[in-house]
Structure 1
Amino acid sequence: MASKNTTAPDMEEATAAGGVPNQNFIRSFTQAQRALYLYVLPLVGNPSDADEVLQETNLVIWNKWDQFEEGTNFLAWGRAIARLEVFRFRRTYNNKVTFLDDSMLDLVAKRAEAISEMTEMRQEALSDCVSQLREKDRQLIEMRYQPGANGDKVAEKLGRPANSVYQSLSRIRRVLVECVQHRLAEAGGAS
C-alpha cells in the first residue's frame, strides 16, 4: 500500500458534502491525528497500512462532521470510526496474512483505547500541573524542554551553576509527579 497524506480532505470536498466544519471541530480533528494513528497502528500491524486506514478514517470523520455532538469526546468518536475502518480494511485486503482474528482484534482495540485514554488523562493532568507552577519554575521547565536544550545550556543561559539548575529541575519534577499522581487519583485513574 502506498502511504497517503493523512491531513484533512480539501475544502471543495467538504463544501460539496454539505458545508464546512466549525473551528472547534477542525481543532479537535487536528489534535486527534497522532492518537488515532497510534490507535490504528497496532490493529493493522504496519505503518503503511496504518496511514491508509487513517486516511479513510479521516474521510469518514470529515464527511460526518455534522453528526459529531460538540462537547462529547472527539477522540472516542474518532476511535470508533477508526475501528470500523480497520475492520473494513481487513475485509478488503483479506488476501494478506492476518495475525489476529476478529475477537483478538477487539481485545487489542479495547486495550489500545484504554492506553490512549490514560495517556490523554496524564497529558491533561501534566498540563494543569505545569500551569500551577510558580512562574519562575514554569519558565525553567519550559527552557529545559526546548529542542536541543539541556541542564548545562539552561544554566549557562541563566548564569547559574549547573548543579543549582539540576537541583531545581529535580525538585520541580518531583512536584509535577506528585501533582499528576494526585490528579489521576482524584479522577479515578491509575498513576
Structure 2
Amino acid sequence: MRTYTPQPGPGSEFVQEFTRTQRRLYLYILAQVGRPTDAEEILQETNLVVWRKADRFTPGTSFFAWSSRIATYEVLKHRERRGREKLRFHPEFVDAVAKDAAEASEHWEERRRALSVCLGKLRPRDRELVERRYAPGENGKSVAEDLNRPINAVYQSLGRIRRTLLECVNRQLAASASQ
C-alpha cells in the first residue's frame, strides 16, 4: 500500500498575496471576456497555473502583475477553445484591453488603499455607522431602527461621512501622486 507524502506548498506570504489578489484578478479577467461565468472558469484555471508555478514567483515583486500575465494566457487559451464562436478579437485588441484592465485595476487598488486609510481616520462613532450600514443585509432603515435614530438623520450622517471620505481619498491620492 502506498502512503501519501504531502509536498511542501507555497509559503504563507505567497498564500496571502494569492488570496488578496483574487477579486482584482477576477475583475481583470472579466474586463477581457465580459461574461461572469467565463471569468470564473478562467480564474479557476489561472489559479491552478499560479499554484503550480508558485516557485517561479519572485517575492517582493508585484504578485498581481505576475498572476495577471498568467491570466492573460488563460484568457487566450479560453478563446482558442471557444474558437467556434463567430466573434473573435484581434490579438492587439485583446492586449490593449488587458493593459487597460490592469491599469484600471491598479487605479481601483490605490483608491481602496486610500479609502482604508481614510476610514481609519474617522471618528469611532462615524466609522461604526459606516460599518453598520455596509454590513451584509443592512440598510439605512435597519441601522436607524437599531440606533433608535430618525432615518433622515442616519442618511444625513452617512452623506456627510461619504463626503469626508471622498475628500480624504482625493487628498491621499494627490499626496501619493506628488511623491
TM-score interval (norm. to shorter)? 0.7 to 0.9
Q: Tell me the CA shift for residue 44 of structure 1.
A: 3.1
1:71 and 2:60 correspond: yes
1:32 and 2:21 correspond: yes
Q: Tell me the CA shift for residue 93 of structure 1.
A: 4.2
Separation in 2, partners of 1:146, 1:38:
22
Q: Tell me the CA shift for residue 48 of structure 1.
A: 3.8
Out of 159, 164, 169, the position equivalent to 1:170 is 159
Separation in 2, partners of 1:179, 1:75:
26
Separation in 2, partners of 1:154, 1:43:
38
1:100 and 2:62 correspond: no
Farther off after superposition, 112-121 or 23-32: 23-32
In structure 1, what residue type is equivalent to 2:103? A
1:161 and 2:161 correspond: no
Separation in 2, partners of 1:37, 1:111:
15
Gaps of 5+ in 1: 1-11
Partner residue, 1:84: 73
Distance 1:46 1:171, change over 3 A: closer
Q: Tell me the CA shift for residue 45 of structure 1.
A: 4.2
Q: Tell me the CA shift for residue 40 of structure 1.
A: 1.4
Question: If the length of structure 1 is used for normalisation, what is the TM-score?
Answer: 0.80
Q: Tell me the CA shift for residue 166 of structure 1.
A: 2.1
- SS in structure 1 of the partner of residue 122 of structure 2: coil
Question: If the length of structure 2 is used for normalisation, what is the TM-score?
Answer: 0.85
Partner residue, 1:20: 9
Separation in 1, partners of 2:76, 2:157:
50
Deviations 1:123-154 (A, max 9, x none): 11111110111111111111111122222322
Separation in 2, partners of 1:85, 1:182:
38
Partner residue, 2:49: 60
How many corresponding residue pairs? Answer: 174
Partner residue, 1:142: 131
Distance 1:42 1:183, change over 3 A: same
Partner residue, 2:121: 132
Distance 1:97 1:188, change over 3 A: farther
* CA-based RMSD: 2.2
Q: Percent identity?
A: 49
Q: Tell me the CA shift for residue 92 of structure 1.
A: 4.5
Alignment of 1:180-191 (within 5 A): 180-188=169-177
Deviations 1:17-40 (A, max 9, x none): xx2111221122122222212211
Distance 1:92 1:154, change over 3 A: closer
Gaps of 5+ in 2: none
- SS in structure 1 of the partner of residue 93 of structure 2: helix
Partner residue, 1:152: 141
